[in-house]
Amino acid sequence: MQLGMVGLGRMGANMTRRLMRGGHQLVVSDLSPDAVKGLAGEGATGSSSLADLVGKLSAPRAAWVMVPSGDPTQKTVETLLSLMQSGDTIIDGGNSYFKDDVRRSQMCAAKGVHYVDVGTSGGVWGLERGYCMMIGGPKETVQRLDPIFKTLAPGRGDIPRTPGFDKRGGTAENGYIHCGPSGAGHFVKMVHNGIEYGIMQAYAEGFDIFKNATSKGLPENIRYDLNLPDIAEVWRRGSVISSWLLDLTAMALVENPTLAEYGGFVQDSGEGRWTIQAAIEEAVPAEVLTASLYARFRSRQEHTFADKMLSAMRQKFGGHVEPKSLEKN
- List beta partners, residue 120: 133
Nearest to 68 by CA among 269, 266, 265: 269
- Reduced to 3 states, what is the DSSP secondary structure of residue 73? helix
Sequential DSSP letters for 217-245? TS-GGG-----HHHHHHHHTTT-TT--HH
| Cβ–Cβ < 8 Å for 246, 236 | yes
CB 77 within 8 A of CB 18: no
Round to whole Å and give the CA distance between 241 and 182.
34
Mention every residue, 6+ apart, whose C-beta is less than 8 A from residue 162. none
Counting Cβ atoms within 10 Å, is residue 223 exposed (0-12), middle (13-18) or buried (19+)? middle
Catalytic residue list contains 308: no
Catalytic site residue from 99, 150, 196, 211: 196
- For residue 323, the Cα-to-chain-centroid distance in whole angstroms is 40
Which DSSP helix (H) or strand (E) runs through 29?
A: strand 25-29
User: Would residue 49 be called left, alpha or beta, if left means φ above 0 and alpha means ψ between -120 and 50 degrees?
Assistant: beta
Question: Which residues are identified as catalytic?
Answer: 189, 196
